[in-house]
Amino acid sequence: MSSIDDLLSCYLKQNQELFGNTLYLEKTASMPEQNDTQPEPAMRLSSFYEQIRHCEQCSLGKTRTNFVFGDGNENADLVFVGEAPGKQEDLLGIPFVGRAGKLLDRILEAINLKRSDIFICNVLKCRPPNNRDPLAGEIEQCEPYLQTQLEMINPKVIITLGRVAAKTLLHLDLPLGQMRNNTYLYHGIDTVVTYHPAALLRNPNLKKPAWEDFQRIRDTYLITE
Ligand code: URA
């Protein structure tokens, strides 16, 4: 018999002498108690929202109407990340509800997705006044919130909409046209870069390549046979 078997048999004998046929085992790290189990992502996300919704880490906390946390399915396989709330989003507290959001809804529908199938949020949770570009310091303050959201949801794929989201998550400062044909990894999660729907509204020539990106997303992550 090996020494491990000797030790085990000795331990079992002692245990039997002390406690009869009831076996008492010490709790180890690999034996979680009932209440150690992870809460559902939805519960964790909503309590995270409660923790951060009054954020005033940067000056946008003073000028916003609503903190725009994110919206959709907390168990989603696909998470879309935009730039920052615009006027409508700030008023309603929900991301992508303005013109760009309506276009995104139509694109999602074309690949058989509803808003309730995905989770959608932004790099910044508060609207920059007059829709100016986010400042580097604002992104730096807000990025950990996005990082935690992505960790909690742990989707199959992240889709970044526009350069700001791609640059923030992937630390790549390249023209979008150069980034969009690749799949990157963000903390082990596939990440696909595509155009922001507002860019498609400004420049309809981008609709064709954007549609190719969404077909690729559909064929890679939605068709499972
Ligand atoms: N543009 C974004 O990047 N996010 C929104 O929520 C709305 C418009």
Ligand 1 nearest atom to the CA of residue 196, by list position: 3
Q: What is the mean pLDDT of the chain?
A: 88
> What DSSP assignment string belongs to the chain?
--HHHHHHHHHHHHHHHHHTTPPP----TTS--GGGSPPPHHHHHHHHHHHHTT--SSTHHHH-SS----EE-TT-SEEEEES---HHHHHHT-SS-SHHHHHHHHHHHHTT--GGGSEEEES-SSPPGGGPPPPHHHHHHHHHHHHHHHHHH--SEEEEESHHHHHHHH---S-HHHHTTSEEEETTEEEEEE--HHHHHH-GGGHHHHHHHHHHHIIIII---
pLDDT score for 67: 98
Ligand 1 atom nearest to 120, measured from its CA? 6
Q: pTM of the full predicted structure? A: 0.82
Predicted local distance difference test score (pLDDT) of residue 111: 98
Q: Pick the atom of ligand 1 nearest to 165's CA.
A: 3
122 C-beta closer than 6 A to ligand 1: yes
For residue 25, how far is its CA from the centre of ligand 1 (angstroms)? 54
Q: How far is the CA of 144 from the centre of ligand 1 (A)?
A: 18
> Please, what CATH class does the domain formed by 39-221 belong to?
alpha beta
pLDDT digits (tens, 9 = 90+) for 132-183: 999 999 999 999 999 999 999 999 999 999 999 999 999 999 999 999 999 9
Ligand 1 centre from 88 Cα, in Å? 9
Q: Ligand 1 within 6 A of 89 CB?
A: yes
From the alpha carbon of 83, which atom of ligand 1 is closest?
A: 3
Q: What are the structural domain ranges in the chain?
A: 39-221
Output the pLDDT for position 147: 98
